[in-house]
Amino acid sequence: MAATLDLSRASAPSQTAPVNLAGLTREGLKAALIAAGVAAPDKARMRAAQVWRWVHHYGVTDFAKMSDVAKETRTRMADAFVLRRPEIVERQQSRDGVRKWLIRFSPGVEAETVFIPGVGRAGALCVSSQVGCTLNCSFCHTGTQALVRNLTGAEIISQVQVARDDLGEWPSPKEDRQLSNIVFMGMGEPLYNLDNVAEAMEVISDNEGIALSRRRITVSTSGVVPELKPLGDRTNAMLAISLHATNDALRDELVPLNRKYPIAELMAAVKAYPGLSNARRVTFEYVMLKGVNDSLADARALVKLVQGVPAKINLIPFNPWPGSKYECSDWATIEAFAAVLNRAGYASPIRTPRGRDILAACGQLKSESEKQRASALRAMTRTA
Ligand code: SAH
Ligand code: SF4
C-alpha cells in the first residue's frame, strides 16, 4: 500500500544540502567519493572502505580525525560533504536507566528513539521508521498522529549513531556491548517503509561498522501481509507480529489493518516467513487490555492460533495515554494468561513497562512530547 505522504506539513529530505556521509551505504559512499572527485573510479573501493571504517567503526564526525587519510583528501571531503548527526531536541533518562532522545531530522520532522538496558542480550534500541503512522490502532498513541513522512535510511541509521554517541560506544566493541539489539518498535509501520528500513539494516549490520548481527535486529509489524516475505528475503531480520487479538472481529477493532489482511492470511504469511525455525522464532506481541482481550479463553485461543509456529509470545501491559479508552489488565490476570501459554510450552515473558516516567514506553512515543511542547508554549508547566 502506498502511504499518503502529506508533505505540506513538514519538509521532505533535502535534495540540495551537502550529502551527509554518515548515512550512506557502502555503494553510496563509493559513488559519492567518485562524483565529488575525491577518489578515482579505480581507487574508490579502497578509499570508501577506509572512510567507512572511520564513520561506522570509530563513529567520527570530523574529517580531520581520519588520521590515515591524506590531509588533502580530508580537506576535499570536508569541502564536498558533511559528516554529522541530526539535532537532539531533548534527551531524557529515566529512573530505570531507559534513555530517550527526541530527534529533529528537519523542521517539523521529529521522532523518538529509546534505549532500554537489560533487554535482549545487553540492551535494545527501539528505533522509529516513520514520523507518525498511517494506521490507527485504537490502543496506540502514535496512531493518533497523522503520518508526516517516512524516515530515510540515513535518518534511521542516525538514530543508532545518536544512541552510540550517548552511550560512548565507539569504536564498535567486539564484546560486552551495551547496545546489542535493535527493535523497529518505535513510531511507524516499518513495512510501509521497507526500502529505507532494509537500507538502514545493511549499514547497521555491516561487519566493519556497527556490526550488529541481523539475528539481533527485530522488525515489528502490525501485519502488512504482502511485505513479510520481501522483509525476510531482503533483510533476514527477526520478525515480530503485533497480534493483540485471536479473532477477526476484535482485531478489526484494535488493529484496523486486519480488515485488509485478516488473521488467517496473516498466519499463513508468518508460517511462510523465510528462515523461520526453532532457532529463529517469530515473536507475537499481545497488548493486555482489561476486559477486552485478556480472558483465559483468549489465552487458549491464542495457543491454538499459534500452534505449529516456532513462536515466542510477548505480553505487553497496556501503557495508558491521555484520552485512551482502555485500561491495562490487572497483574494477576496477566500472570494467569501467561500461565496458560507457558503450560502449552510457549515462552511468554511479560514485558515490564520501562521508562514510563519519561513516557518512553511502547505506544507513548512522540505524540506526548509534541503535546508537552505545545503546552510549554502556552507557558504551562507540566511533568510527565
Ligand atoms: N507499527 C509497528 C511497530 C511499532 S509499534 C507495530 O505495530 O508492530 C510497537 C509495539 O508497541 C507494537 O506491538 C504495538 O502494538 C505496541 N503498542 C502500541 N501502543 C501501545 C500501548 N499504548 N501500550 C502497549 N503497547 C503498545
Ligand atoms: Fe502504527 Fe504500530 Fe501504532 Fe498501529 S501500533 S498505530 S501500526 S505504530
Q: Which of 13-22, 92-101, 327-336 bottoms out in mean pLDDT, i.e. has the lowest?
A: 13-22
pLDDT surpasses 50 at 335? yes
Q: Find the angle CA(250)-CA(255)-CA(256) to the nearest 5 degrees.
A: 95
Q: Which atom of ligand 2 is nearest to the CA of 143?
A: 6
> Residue for cell digits 556497527?
210
Q: Which atom of ligand 2 is nearest to the CA of 222?
A: 7
CA of 375 to the centre of ligand 1 (A): 25
Q: Which atom of ligand 2 is nearest to the CA of 363?
A: 3
CA of 186 to the centre of ligand 2 (A): 9
From 1, 136, 140, the mutation candidate for ligand 2 (largest count of ligand atoms within 8 A of CB) is 140
CA of 21 to the centre of ligand 2 (A): 31
Residue type, 267: M
CA of 141 to the centre of ligand 1 (A): 9
Q: Which atom of ligand 1 is nearest to the CA of 364?
A: 22
Say if ligand 2 is within 6 A of residue 86 CB. Answer: no
Contacts of 171 (CB under 8 A, 6+ apart): 57, 58, 59
Structural element, H or E, at residue 158: helix 153-167
pLDDT over 70 for what percent of the chain? Answer: 88
CA of 12 to the centre of ligand 1 (A): 26
R_g of the chain computed on alpha carbons: 21
Confidence of residue 5 (pLDDT cuts 50, 70, 90): very low
Residues labelled as active-site residues? 112, 362
CA of 124 to the centre of ligand 2 (A): 19
Q: Find the angle CA(381)-CA(128)-CA(255) to the nearest 5 degrees.
A: 95
Say if ligand 1 is within 6 A of residue 189 CB. Answer: yes
Say if ligand 1 is within 6 A of residue 139 CB. Answer: yes
Residue 119 confidence (pLDDT) = 86
Cα–Cα distance between 37 and 75 in angstroms, integer?
A: 12
This model's pTM is above 0.85: yes
From 114, 133, 147, the mutation candidate for ligand 2 (largest count of ligand atoms within 8 A of CB) is 133
Mean of per-residue pLDDT scores for the chain: 89
- Output the residue whose Cα is nearest ligand 1's atom 13: 242
Pairing of strands 109-117, 99-106: antiparallel
Say if ligand 2 is within 6 A of residue 222 CB. Answer: yes
Say if ligand 2 is within 6 A of residue 205 CB. Answer: no
Say if ligand 2 is within 6 A of residue 140 CB. Answer: yes
86 in Cβ contact with 14 (< 8 Å): no
Say if ligand 2 is within 6 A of residue 368 CB. Answer: no
The ligand placed nearest to the CA atom of residue 191 is: 1
- Output the residue whose Cα is nearest ligand 2's atom 6: 143
Confidence of residue 260 (pLDDT cuts 50, 70, 90): very high
pLDDT tens for residues 123-162?
999 999 999 999 999 999 877 788 789 999 999 999 999 9
Residue 370 confidence (pLDDT) = 56
Q: Which atom of ligand 2 is nearest to the CA of 136?
A: 6
Cα–Cα distance between 300 and 244 in angstroms, integer?
A: 14
309 in Cβ contact with 269 (< 8 Å): no
b (16+ CB within 10 A) / e for 249-263 = ebbbbbbebbeebbb
pLDDT tens for residues 342-382?
999 988 778 777 777 676 666 665 555 554 544 443 333 33
| Angle, helices 44-52/26-35, rounded to nearest 10 degrees | 120
CA of 21 to the centre of ligand 1 (A): 32
